[in-house]
Structure 1
């Protein structure tokens, strides 16, 4: 049974979502604020439905905190219509953004899609060895080989490479990468990414000036291409 964590301080919305989700076979956990949401994430929900307007913490900070403890998809459910709010939420690690008021059928469809994508990503991430055209990454042993020789990476270089490889082609925003590798207090330090990507490309790319595997998507972020 799929478990959904609903994070919202509006009892009416929580009740409506609980009824709808239960009726469609979901198990429902609830939290009325950000601190409770982070504690509830320890129960390993399969998907999180999150309102940004919480009484104790900014919703984007909650997303960042959740991303430190769970890879479950996060579907934002918010009355905030501004594109800046959507961008901040998605950059922090949200998977989808639904505005209030919303249609239940569309919401459930988006929820199913988020769970499907997460299941596919997890199945791929469980594969221990990833082979690119120029190098091989053993995610279990944390080793990289290129041209038959092992490549030494620093812990930070490995953390960045692992995040990109496990995403399997998904574009990761700078904010999300910084939060995953350096922590939530460094989400504006984009120069870290530039420096470490240069180092990784020098070690792994046949032509670091024209990378084939560790790619920059202008205005969006970075992705791994096998």
Structure 2
């Protein structure tokens, strides 16, 4: 059991915590549960967490803020985040992407759907936990892409800046950059990017891709408002213009 993925459930509804804990434990996962942000942080400090099931509406701090907290920790930058919510507003979905969520499940949900989403996100965020790679993770060990002084290690899932510093990327950001770097000079529309990165685990919401691109630009572009690596093609999509070495 110690080698099983560790899932943290953050929800203020005790019945939902108990239901998910029982179900996921029976499916072979390690499971911890927290009712609020303070308890979540205690769990993150004590153990390695591979994925957080995070309720959006919580007392005090909401799920958006807690997702930011997860992403701000160096030890959890690759931890998967699936947001649970009773709201179906598409704006919430896009905001969830902007703060680093990997997937989004509306309540009420089926337990089998939750299990499928968890396994899908784990394949992308923790490839070592699964023999089956996700839609984007098809790289061979040791494969590295270099462009304009940057070094993208696909096997280690690491990005180094031209000055040698490590750049922390979320799973979505990493997959997006890897997709761009593997298709230099090719204009990719939003549908193609969704297929190549997430396998359409998200609904077809164009703005979700735009949010991911904006976040990626803030990390790799000297001036995100005037990008030189990932450029917009008006009315079509995006093109990677970095020089592959």
- Report the TM-score range of the alignment, normalised by the length of the smaller protein: 0.5 to 0.7
Corresponding residue for 1:63? Answer: 67
> Are the counterparts in 1 of residues 10 and 36 from structure 2 also a CA contact under 8 Å?
yes
What is the CA-CA distance between 1:177 and the residue it aligns to?
6.1
Larger Rg: 1
Aligned to 2:21: 18
Tell me, what secondary structure is at the counterpart of 1:194? coil
TM-score, structure 2 normalization: 0.62
For structure 1, the 5+ residue unaligned runs are: 145-151, 183-189, 202-213
The reply on whether 1:34 has 2:37 as its aligned counterpart is yes
Normalized per residue, which structure has more helix?
Answer: 1
Residue number in structure 1 paired with 2:110: 103
Aligned mates of 1:218, 1:22 — CA distance in 2: 48
8 A Cα contact 1:6 1:30, kept in partner: yes
CA distances 1:3-31 after superposition (whole Å, capped 9, x unpaired)? 10000000000000011011101111111
Contact 2:232 2:239 in 1 (8 A): yes
Q: Describe the shift of the 1:162–1:2 C-alpha distance in structure 2 as closer, same or farther (beyond 3 A).
A: closer
Q: In structure 2, list runs of 5 or more residues that go unmatched.
A: 128-133, 180-196, 198-208
Secondary structure at the counterpart of residue 25 of structure 1? coil
Contact 1:130 1:137 in 2 (8 A): yes
Shift of 1:35: 2.7
Give 3-state SS (helix, strand or coil) of 2:65's partner.
Answer: helix
Tell me if the contact between 1:160 and 1:177 (Cα under 8 Å) persists in the aligned partners. no
Aligned residues: 193
Q: TM-score, normalised by structure 1?
A: 0.67
